[in-house]
Structure 1
């Protein structure tokens, strides 16, 4: 993300990247993702919170007042997307947080715990459990997921596991949420990590909204993928006529090079 813009303006929407693995100084960086969505005439939405308080520090640098955030959407239960929640408890406000219930489950990568301590913050937020495929957050901002897994070359990393019903099983990220901003003549699609496949998610969004994707931004989880797979992904994304693509966080450098 170095040398790239951290603020994106499309129509009446402003997106500010508050947390990413690489940001230019004086901004702070960490392994994590958080993006602030401000749309004219609508409540402010925060999508993910990174790992620590980096997103808060960067918001201060940008001059953004996070106390004005009305809604928070958590893409999934990993620490690098939900870990920053606990740092919002000092704001003296009970933020409304949208997520799917499986985000609360203990998460692992092999033997390493990759979730967060939900118990310690359970009373500090107003958690809204999403059960539907598509949920309206504001007049034009939606959360949707999990994406249907349709193709045979995208699936979650088998090293990721989750404890369900007392048993550690492979994690298919059934709680994964993505964000869509409906701009009328097209949509902005924001992904947290795209564990269920960036192509699956994009095609899902196009089917749900019936509109072209003006901007695709977020984590694509391709940093471990071989060149052949990334080239295939880029080829399909180009066939889908996406106007602008900004891979962040876990996307990896290779997709950025191929997209140039």
Structure 2
């Protein structure tokens, strides 16, 4: 399956300008997150998607603005697409999402939305010392699994443990925000060791991963490190 990078904001300058967040298009029909700036998301999506009306599923990993605010732009173009959210999404955010008039599904447990495309259901994480619920995606196709994260607030190890309990297949790709932006070199080293323990074959970090972690992952994975650039494409089945 092709994954197109609709939008990603990963630098301190982009964060200050609120051009921050993530949005990935899986094939032609599934979106993971909708970025933080609606105008950028709208423009990029029209340039990236073959036909916006073919998008059937919009997965919001969690409630933060930089992953949901672009949804308003999609609602104007394709209000029939179904939006998948965590049941524990904060009440006002949930009301805003439902107020856009799109079908909304609250995902509490594993759910297959298309053949071989699964949502994890919400799992517990934290942000600024407070509970935060997040879901992630799994694409199951030969030769293994592609795991896609919005921000990975629950932690990469708990996410991969969750995947291992559900699927026997190897993780051939881990892609998305890894939430290592404020982690020390020692903490990042522990995470890299965990990825190796879980047998992760390729990594494609972006967004909240942080410059230090990106460099350390690049060094650790070598030619199995994939650059994520806005407008770029990653094939889940590439060697």
Q: TM-score, normalised by structure 2?
A: 0.81
Aligned to 1:192: 150
Residue 95 (1) aligns with residue 72 (2): no
- SS of the counterpart of 1:193? coil
Give distance in 1, aligned partners of 2:52 and 2:136. 21
Aligned to 1:156: 126
User: How far did residue 22 of structure 1 move?
Assistant: 4.6
Q: 1:65 to 1:104 in 2, by over 3 A?
A: farther
Aligned to 1:34: 23
| 1:124-179 C-alpha deviation (Å, 9 max, x unpaired) | 21011122x211111110000334x7xxxxx623x25xxxxxxxxx22x23x1100
Q: 1:251 to 1:120 in 2, by over 3 A?
A: closer
Which moved further from structure 2: 56-65 or 71-80? 56-65
Note the residue ranges of structure 2 that are not aligned, 5 or more in a row.
12-17, 220-239
- Which of 68, 81, 86 is equivalent to 2:67? 81
Q: 1:56 to 1:123 in 2, by over 3 A?
A: closer
Note the residue ranges of structure 1 that are not aligned, 5 or more in a row.
1-12, 24-28, 107-115, 150-154, 161-169
Give distance in 1, aligned partners of 2:199 and 2:209. 20
User: How far did residue 239 of structure 1 move?
Assistant: 2.4
Q: 1:120 to 1:45 in 2, by over 3 A?
A: closer
Larger RCO, structure (CA 8 Å, separation 6 or more):
2
Q: 1:220 to 1:126 in 2, by over 3 A?
A: same
Residue 130 (1) aligns with residue 107 (2): yes
The runs of 4+ residues in structure 1 deviating greater than 4 Å are: none
Structure number with higher helix proportion: 2
Aligned to 1:70: 56
| 1:23-78 C-alpha deviation (Å, 9 max, x unpaired) | 9xxxxx9211110001xxxx711111011222331223335322210111111111
Question: 2:61, 2:136 within 8 Å by CA — same for their partners in 1?
Answer: yes
Residue 211 (1) aligns with residue 169 (2): yes
Question: 1:16, 1:37 within 8 Å by CA — same for their partners in 2?
Answer: yes
Aligned to 2:29: 44
Q: 1:189 to 1:258 in 2, by over 3 A?
A: same
- Which of 126, 144, 169 is equivalent to 2:120? 144
